[in-house]
Amino acid sequence: MQTLLKEIPGGSVDLLRIDIEGSEKEVFESCDWISDVRRLMIDLHDRIKPGYSEAVNSVIQGFRNLQRGGTTLYLRNS
């Protein structure tokens, strides 16, 4: 993720959509990039392996979330 963000002019993202089919835990374990994201839309796959939601929620500080079906939208608090 850090490499991807370096490719973006300005180095920050207004909306990041992630659908990584059960790799959430691995991506969010080392999450030094989240400060560069204003909104995050993600499908959490706890049905595949429990704990994915916990991994994401543990690094999403300063965000509020909205749940719509299987998708969670995290919005950075102003």
Q: What is the pLDDT of residue 15?
A: 92
What's the pLDDT band for 51 if we cut at 50, 70, 90?
A: confident
The two beta strands, 63-68 and 71-76, are antiparallel
Q: What tokens appear for 70 in the block?
A: 């299987």
What is the number of structural domains in the chain?
A: 1
Q: What is the pLDDT of residue 41?
A: 94
Domain span including residue 56: 2-76
Stronger pLDDT, 39 or 46, i.e. the higher one: 39
7-41: burial string, b at 16+ Cβ within 10 Å, e else: eeeeeebeebebeeeeebbebbeebebbebbeebb
Average pLDDT, the chain: 83
Q: What tokens appear for 30 in the block?
A: 């080392």
Q: What is the pLDDT of residue 57?
A: 83
pTM score over 0.85:
no
